Homo-oligomer: A and B are copies of this chain.
Amino acid sequence: MVVNNKVDSLSYDVEAPPQGAAAAAAAAPPAPPAPARHHAPAAPVTMREGAAVLELHKVSLPERRSTARALRQRLAEVFFPDDPLHQFKNQSSARRLVLALQYFFPIFQWGSAYSPRLLRSDLVAGLTIASLAIPQAHSSFVPPLIYSLLGSSRDLAVGPVSIASLVMGSMLREAVSPDEEPILYLQLAFTSTFFAGVFQASLGFLRLGFIVDFLSKATLTGFMGGAAIIVSLQQLKGLLGIVHFTSHMGFVDVMRSVFKRHDEWEWQTITMGTAFLAILLLTRQISARNPKLFWISAGAPLTSVIISTILSFIWKSHSISVIGILPRGVNPPSANMLTFSGSYVALTIKTGIMTGILSLTEGIAVGRTFASINNYQVDGNKEMMAIGIMNMAGSCASCYVTTGSFSRSAVNYSAGCKTAVSNIVMAAAVLVTLLFLMPLFHYTPNVILSAIIITAVVGLIDVRGAAKLWKVDKLDFLACMAAFLGVLLVSVQMGLAIAVGISLFKILLQVTRPNMVVKGLVPGTQSYRSVVQYREAVRVPSFLIVGVESAIYFANSMYLVERVMRFLRDEEERALKSNQSSIRCVVLDMSAVAAIDTSGLDALSELKKVLEKRNIELVLANPVGSVAERMFNSAVGELFGSERLFFSVAEAVAAGACKAQP
């Protein structure tokens, strides 16, 4: 039997010392000094209590680290959670060079193993996504080529996405009308794209990729739904053939404009648009019901364009507006259109950051989704750099903001793509179209493009997803609806800001009002669990065991003290009613307290003082490494001392029971 200081203090502290333990402690040889804290773990302490043997285990501390080392590890965890340098360990320098090259240009990694068999798959997939890309031709040429060099996802299909395009349009239109000043509008759009790229690449370079994690899925669901409706409403211009349309994006403005201009409604256009819209929505439904028929909805847009163009060419009706003359040829360089001075710099930077973060969020999420399906990893920060560089290059070649698009990547994946070569194939197909096929689109009616866009964006309205949120998490649903209504009724930026605010508020609320539970012993085990969750759990008489299920911070330290006092009051009332002995000991189960700050430490010592005044002992069970470390670095560690720190609730109860009961 090992007896050390701990047992001594345990026996001497007791008001009515238990005969057995006191005798044992007295009979034992003088206790050796307790082993130094940061060395090998102490052997368990055994206490003989009558016939029962109680074995106490010491709370250990993690190995002592220097401040610099602790800081380095913490920073590494924040900025390099994926440990990208792991593969460079224990390699020759030549090998490291190859690995570095492969790291920055993943094409060298998979390129060496590329085979005709893979090419066949990628060819089919590339042509399939090209058919989706042709309406936004320019932006689907340069960026996919760059991405195929730098990107680490095999399934991502690159192109402009509706959210980012919408936000860019909405933000720029507030300052400049694309109809009145088309050149200036283009300049601002390309400059914003450039800033978006710079912002994205710097986020990746600075390893701040975790910022996109703050856009929760709930937020995005609401945001996309609102954005989809806003975009659809804009298409009413084309679908109804209205000439004088509002330049505002809000729901109210657009609806007012639509009904004020009902004299401009064009019935031929409406008939044609509605018919094609119905067909497109039908093909979507068919593909959704039977995923094997994905090619029906994939091919429908291009087919609609061709058929409607032929119809319009035959009719030559003047009441249906057509695209007209399109610039033929490959992307014109637009580096000269980037403007970094003048009164619009702030606007373009703001627009760039906004669209940059939105397109990143979609791109990274899509890349991760398909990577997890196919069981490979994408490096978020590296992807950001790839997307950023792709947008910087794109802004110099007449491209708007591009990213990995969810719908296109899904088509790419289901068409059987194997590598980023499918992006190259798509770019080549777009190139051919740009060079030779553009005149064919002269008679394409604008109403068809509106129908295609509506079909594409209504898919973003995820009613089922919102219903799931309502079922599972009401606050998530609130964030979702706030984003939805904010985008629809106020503005795109405001909607996003409100939703992010609610998401952050939710986190802070959870931190401010952490879960705290009263625990009891589950019969047949040594485990203490919440008496609310496990109704069979039994409270230990004269003990109050409180589990704290959150880090203890300045934001909740006051609440913690108040909540424990309230539990104490309730438990004492309960004990009084059922004639049980009153509470003698409060055990804080710290298992779930991942961290503690200085205010938290102060709260613990305050709680101890307050309880002491009422002759109630406060002990802590199972503090985790960082918390134990911090306690011993402050005066609180001494206040509690090792005799009030226990390995587990069970041991705390066992040791505490020794003291309270003679």
Q: Which residues does A use to contact B, with CB under 8 Å?
A: 40-41, 44, 55, 57, 60-63, 67, 71, 77-78, 81-83, 86, 210, 213-219, 368, 372-373, 375, 377, 380, 468-469, 471-476, 503-504, 506-515, 517, 522, 524-527, 529-530, 532-536, 549-551, 553-559, 561-563, 565-566, 569, 591-595, 597-599, 601-602, 606, 609-610, 613-614, 622, 624-626, 628, 630, 633-634, 647-648
Chain B residues near A598 (CB-CB < 8 A): 217-218, 468-469, 472-473, 476
How far apart are A68's CB and chain B's nearest CB, in angstroms?
11
B81 touches A562 (CB 8 A): yes
- 11 further A-B pairs in the complex, CB-CB below 8 A; given A217-B554, A506-B597: A40-B535, A81-B513, A213-B557, A214-B508, A215-B554, A216-B555, A375-B614, A476-B598, A507-B507, A517-B625, A533-B624
Q: Is the CB of A628 within 8 A of B533?
A: yes
A96 CA / B621 CA spacing, docked (Å): 41
Which residues of B have CB within 8 Å of A613?
Answer: 375
Contact flag A513-B57 (CB < 8 Å), given A556-B213, A592-B592: no
Partner of A510, one of B515, B535, B563, B595: B595
What's the Cα separation between A524 and B526 when bound, in Å?
13
**Chain B residues with CB under 8 A of A597:** 216, 218, 472-473, 475-476, 506
* Chain B residues within an 8 Å CB radius of A606: 372
A57 touching B525 in the complex, CB below 8 Å, given contacts A562-B81, A625-B530: yes
Within the complex, the shortest CB–CB distance from A406 to chain B, in Å, comes to: 15
List residues of chain B with CB within 8 A of the CB of A44.
Answer: 524
Whether A55 contacts B507 by the Cβ 8 Å rule is no
Docked pose: A624 CA to B592 CA in angstroms: 11
From known contacts A535-B40, A610-B375, infer whether A368 and B60 are also in contact, taking CB-CB under 8 Å.
Answer: no
Task: Give A651's nearest chain B residue, CB to CB.
Answer: B525
Distance of A91 from chain B, by nearest CB (Å): 15
Cα-based distance from A511 to B535 in the complex (angstroms): 31
Within 8 Å CB of A555, what residues of B? Answer: 210, 213-214, 216, 503, 507
Query: Which B residues are CB-close (under 8 A) to A67?
Result: 474
Residue from B71, B77, B507 in contact with A553 in the complex, judged by beta carbons closer than 8 Å? B507
- Minimum distance in angstroms from A566 CB to a CB of chain B: 6
Chain B hits for A57, CB < 8 A: 522, 524-525
* A610 to B598 Cα, complex, angstroms: 40
Q: Kindly state the separation between the CA atoms of A554 and B504 in the bound complex, as whole angstroms.
A: 10
A217 close to B513 (CB less than 8 A): no
**Docked complex Cα distance between A569 and B473 (Å):** 33
Q: Which residues of B contact A63 (CB under 8 A)?
A: 532, 535
Among B213, B375, B592, contact of A549 (Cβ-Cβ < 8 Å):
B592
Rank and list the top 5 A-B pairs by shortest CB-CB distance, nearest first. Answer: A216-B554, A549-B594, A533-B625, A592-B592, A515-B594
Chain B residue nearest to A78 (CB atoms) is B513
Contact between A510 and B594 (Cβ–Cβ < 8 Å)? yes
A-B contact list, 27 entries, CB within 8 Å? A40-B535, A41-B534, A41-B535, A71-B474, A78-B509, A81-B513, A81-B562, A82-B566, A83-B566, A213-B554, A213-B555, A213-B557, A213-B558, A215-B554, A216-B555, A368-B558, A372-B606, A471-B634, A472-B598, A476-B598, A507-B507, A515-B595, A515-B624, A526-B526, A527-B648, A529-B622, A533-B624
Contacts of A633 in B (CB 8 A): 471-472
Q: Are B550 and A551 touching (Cβ within 8 A)? A: yes
* Contact with A372, one of B71, B82, B556, B609 (Cβ below 8 angstroms): B609
Check A213 against B82 for contact (C-beta < 8 Å). Answer: no
A143 CB to nearest chain B CB (Å): 24
In whole angstroms, how far apart are the Cα atoms of A539 and B549 in the complex? 25
Q: A57-B525, A598-B468 are in contact. Are A563 and B372 (CB under 8 A)?
A: no
Closest to A556 in B: B213
Closest chain B CB from A63 CB (angstroms): 7
Chain B residues, Cβ within 8 Å of A550 = 551, 594
